[in-house]
Structures are given as structure tokens and as C-alpha cells.
């Protein structure tokens, strides 16, 4: 069984592309690329087609993640048909997605940081108007939650032991 994981934020140029690249890296490192599809989208339409924010790209590159090939897109109703885990960065994202959620959706729509283990925060703060530290904090939170999310997805798919 395969699973689709979609990360969602407001602009799809800072937080969700960061989560996309970090989670994809973890999926690849565990040899699960054939089983888990990863994507990201924004609730807003301002940055459609644009590359991720240069500050997010630079901070991620320092930790070995490549955001450069990603391009922003806006979430659409059909995403609820194609993804099993729709992971939002904050409660505003969740509020914006509720009207798009079809009654038959059986996946998990929720806060990505519900899967965090080390950090108590449940929202990834928007770093867009922040400084460099804001982007480091996004990475810290995302790396933490990605570990827990991968465990949940592996369980969902009935996949075997994760390779490290
Ligand atoms: P993101 O950050 O939601 O993490 O991609 C933002 C990017 C752009 C804007 C807001 C947040 N904006 O207002 O343009």
C-alpha cells in the first residue's frame, strides 16, 4: 500500500516546501520512495509558480536539504482525493482547508506538529517576516515532526521496519 503526504502552509514558499524537502529526504533515506508520495501546496495564490523563499532555501541547504527544484502551487479540492495525510503548519491553514474537505475524506487532516516529539509547539510560526533564526526554528520543528509523521505513515501503510 502506498500513501500520499501533502504539506500545506499559507504561501508554499517557506514552511511547507521546507517540510516537503525534509520529509522527502527522510523517506528516501529509509528506502521508502516507492511507497510514499510527498508534495506541498499553499492556501494562498500569491506565489504560484515561484521558487521557495531564498532564506528558506539557504537555511535548508545548510542542513543538506534541496528546496531549489520546488515550485509553489495552490491547494485544490482534488488534493483530498490524492493524499492520505494533509499536514498543515498552523491553525489558520486548518481553518482555510475545512471548507474544501469532502465528507468522504478518510485521511488525516491536521497540524503537522501533532507528530512532534521533542518540541511542545503545535504550530510552525510563519518565518516570512522574521529573521534568520526564524528559518532555523522552522527547520528544528519540521525535523522533529517529520520523524513522528514517518512512523505514522509507515504504520498506516503496513510497511516493514524502517531502514536507517
Ligand atoms: P509560508 O510563508 O506560508 O511559510 O510560505 C509565507 C510566505 C509568503 C507570505 C506569507 C507567508 N506572504 O504574505 O506573501
Task: Reduce the secondary structure of 65-122 to three states and give it as a string.
Answer: CCCCCCCCCECCCCHHHHCCEEEECCHHHHHHHHHHCCCCCCCEEEEHHHHCCCCCCC
- Which residue, chain included where needed, has cell 506565489? 47
List b or e across 87-107, with b for residues whose CB sees 16 or more CB atoms inside 10 angstroms. Answer: bbbbeebbebbeebeeeeeeb
9 lines ligand 1 (CB under 6 A): yes
pTM, full prediction = 0.96
| Tens digits of residue pLDDT in 82-126 | 999 999 999 999 999 999 999 999 999 999 999 999 999 999 999
Establish whether 126 is a catalytic residue.
yes
The segments of the chain whose pLDDT lies below 50 read: 161
Helix boundaries (H) for the chain: 15-29, 54-62, 79-82, 91-97, 132-157
In angstroms, what is the span from residue 84 Cα to ligand 1's centroid? 24
In angstroms, what is the span from residue 130 Cα to ligand 1's centroid? 11
Question: Which SS3 state, helix, strand or coil, does residue 86 take?
Answer: strand
Q: Counting atoms of ligand 1 from 1, which one is nearest the CA of 11?
A: 5
Closest CA to 112 of 79, 85, 72: 85
124 lines ligand 1 (CB under 6 A): no
Which is catalytic among the residues 50, 126, 140, 157? 126
Residue closest by Cα to atom 14 of ligand 1: 11
Residue to probe by mutation, ligand 1, list 7, 8, 11, most atoms within 8 Å of CB: 11
Distance in angstroms (rounded) separating the CA atoms of residues 145 and 77: 25
Helix 15-29 to helix 54-62 angle (10° resolution) is: 30
Question: Which SS3 state, helix, strand or coil, does residue 4 take?
Answer: strand
Query: What is the pLDDT at residue 162?
Result: 52
Amino acid at each position: 500500500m502506498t500513501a500520499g503526504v501533502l504539506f500545506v502552509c499559507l504561501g508554499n514558499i517557506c514552511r511547507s516546501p521546507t517540510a516537503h524537502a525534509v520529509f522527502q529526504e527522510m523517506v528516501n533515506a529509509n528506502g521508502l520512495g516507492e511507497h510514499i508520495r510527498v508534495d506541498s501546496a499553499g492556501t494562498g495564490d500569491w506565489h504560484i509558480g515561484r521558487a521557495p523563499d531564498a532564506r528558506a532555501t539557504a537555511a535548508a541547504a545548510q542542513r543538506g536539504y534541496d528546496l531549489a527544484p520546488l515550485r509553489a502551487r495552490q491547494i485544490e479540492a482534488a488534493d483530498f482525493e490524492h493524499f492520505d495525510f494533509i499536514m498543515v503548519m498552523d491553525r489558520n491553514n486548518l481553518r482555510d482547508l475545512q471548507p474544501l474537505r469532502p465528507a468522504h475524506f478518510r485521511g488525516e487532516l491536521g497540524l503537522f506538529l501533532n507528530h512532534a516529539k521533542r518540541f511542545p509547539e503545535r504550530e510552525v510560526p510563519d518565518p516570512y517576516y522574521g529573521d534568520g533564526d526564524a528559518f532555523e526554528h522552522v527547520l528544528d520543528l519540521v525535523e522533529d515532526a517529520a520523524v513522528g509523521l514517518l512512523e505514522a505513515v509507515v504504520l498506516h501503510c503496513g510497511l516493514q521496519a524502517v531502514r536507517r
